[in-house]
Structure 1
Amino acid sequence: MPRPRKRDYDSLRRDLIDAGGRLLAAEGPSALSTRRVAQETGTSTTAVYSLFGDKAGLVREMFLEGFERLAAAFDAVPRTADPVADLLALGDAYRANARDNPHLYELMFGRPVPEFRPDAEAGRRIRPTFDALVAACARCVDEGAFAPLPPHDIAVQLNALAHGLAGLELRGALGGGDDADAHWKRAFATLLKGLAA
């Protein structure tokens, strides 16, 4: 296969990552092979090796891409004069990203590929998403909306809540539509009430 042009490279990379994620989510780690991913995207295994090195490289890039999409979702949240509303908007962005990328979500936060463990460089690259949450929590504390608790600890609690809700929603355990919305709103309202100054 000839080396793809820059535009083709980005499109093919994304297609391969999404195909890998869909295979992993639908059929489990045994279905995730370079041959199957190539077939799903109508390309050759040479393209997979060229872009990712091997299957392990593909899995690593799937993991990183999930967090890049989450970071982009967080970056798109506007900053307003209300720190709590802005924090809740990050929660909405987290939820929307999970729903838009369910095929990458489990790899981001679980162990569906047992042999994959993020290396130190991957850890450094995904850190800004959690740092954005800590910064939003710090702003709530600094502006008096939250009790003077360590922002990192607040961020851990909010992250755990959002992760749990998103995981349940993706599995259909929160019901659909209005039911799922209500669970998210009530859960966050309860936690924020406990954090209020």
Structure 2
Amino acid sequence: MQSGAPEETATGEAAGREVTRQRVVEAAIGLLEREGREAVTTRAVAAAAGLQPPAIYRLFGDKEGLLDAVAEHGFHAFLATKHGAPEPEDPVEGLRAGWDLAVEFAVDNPALYALMYGEPSRAASAAFRTGMRMLKERVHRLALGGWLRVDEDLAVQIIHATARGAALTWLSLPEEARNPALLSILRDAMTNAVTDPEPAVRDTGPAGAARALRAALPEQTVLSGAERRLLREWLDRLS
């Protein structure tokens, strides 16, 4: 029993430290949303969390470390909304719904969103990378269905940039100047830039893709005649 006591003590201390970190992060978010980023000082956050200022430095290193933790909390909260949202059967509708979800999170959490996405350095967040991986998976499903108008990497960049730009632009406007049509028009522009009105591949999988490519093959001039014949043979096998 005695040999395990130090381990139990260390575990208890780690758990207590994590609870305190979470309390500080929540206090910082409260100040951020109520009074803006300038109000998030180590002294003010410590007071709101019921701690002395040196505790902030022990837990987060410095103010930037605290802000990084707040941003990470925001990314995790955003991921939770993604996991909780139902996935439409139509992949294009799923793309539009995911874009709307990102913008709605910004509208509901303006100061937190500005902290998360207003600085490129926040992209190092593990939760941010998880969100981008989910976006890439969504885009890959569109590609498999023959919906993409551009390549997958460019599609990911367009989707992310338009949602982020739309949200930050919306938040920068005075409330009386915020026209909901701005967001719907930008979402439609993103959809039109990334996807085709009808899928190029009717059947998912390599066979459907091979048939679609084979149908378009005679119209292209990049390949030589011998290359086209060889590619056609390969596509025939796949389809």
TM-score bucket of the superposed structures, by smaller chain: 0.7 to 0.9
Structure 2 vs 1, CA of residues 125 and 192 (structure 1 numbering), >3 Å: closer, same or farther?
closer
Aligned to 2:89: 81
Could you tell me which residue of structure 1 aligns to residue 185 of structure 2? 186
Q: Is the 8 A contact 1:71 1:129 kept in 2?
A: yes
Matching residue of 1:102: 110
For the pair 1:18 / 2:29, whether they are aligned, the reply is yes
- 2:116/2:122 contact within 8 Å kept: no
Once the 2 structures are TM-superposed, how far is the Cα of residue 176 of structure 1 from its aligned partner?
6.0
Q: 1:91, 1:162 within 8 Å by CA — same for their partners in 2?
A: yes
**Aligned equivalents of 1:60, 1:7: Cα separation in 2:** 15
Shift of 1:175: 5.0
Q: What are structure 1's unaligned runs of at least 5 residues?
A: none
Deviates more, 1:39-48 or 1:102-111: 39-48
Matched-pair contact (CA < 8 Å) for 1:34–1:45: yes
The answer as to whether partners of 2:139 and 2:156 remain within 8 angstroms in 1 is yes
Please tell me the root mean square deviation across aligned C-alpha atoms, in Å: 3.1
Q: 2:136 aligns with which of 134, 137, 143?
A: 134
SS of residue in 2 equivalent to 1:107: helix
C-alpha distance in 1 between matches for 2:188 and 2:175: 17
Q: CA deviation at 1:82?
A: 0.9
Aligned-pair distance for 1:193? 2.1
Q: Measured at CA, do residues 123 and 9 of structure 1 come closer, stay the same or move farther in structure 2, by a change above 3 Å?
A: closer
Unaligned 5+ segments in structure 2 are 1-12, 197-239
Query: Cα deviation per residue 1:76-105 (whole Å; 9 max; x = unaligned)?
Result: 222231111111111121112112222222
TM-score by length of 2: 0.64
Take 2:175 and 2:186, find their aligned partners in 1: how far apart are those partners? 12
Give how far 1:129 is off: 0.9
Provide the rounded CA distance (Å) in 2 between the counterparts of 1:117 and 1:82. Answer: 34
**Whose relative contact order is higher, 1 or 2, with alpha carbons under 8 Å and at least 6 apart?**
1
Q: 4+ residue stretches of structure 1 with deviation over 6 A?
A: none
| Inter-partner Cα distance in structure 2 for 1:48 and 1:27 | 17
One-letter amino acid of the counterpart of residue 160, structure 2: N
Q: Tell me the distance in 1 between the aligned counterparts of 2:65 and 2:18.
A: 21
Q: Matches of 1:176 and 1:41 in 2, distance apart?
A: 36
Q: Distance in 2 between matches of 1:125 and 1:7?
A: 18
The 2-side partners of 1:194 and 1:6 are apart by 48
Paired residues of 1:19 and 1:41 also in contact (CA < 8 A): no
Query: Closer, same or farther in 2 for the Cα pair 1:7/1:108, shift >3 Å?
Result: closer
Tell me which structure has the larger Cα radius of gyration: 2
Distance, in Å, in 1 between the alignment partners of 2:139 and 2:19 is 40
TM-score of the superposition, structure 1-length normalised? 0.75
**Cα gap change, 1:130 to 1:40, in 2 (>3 Å):** same
Q: Is the 8 A contact 1:20 1:62 kept in 2?
A: no
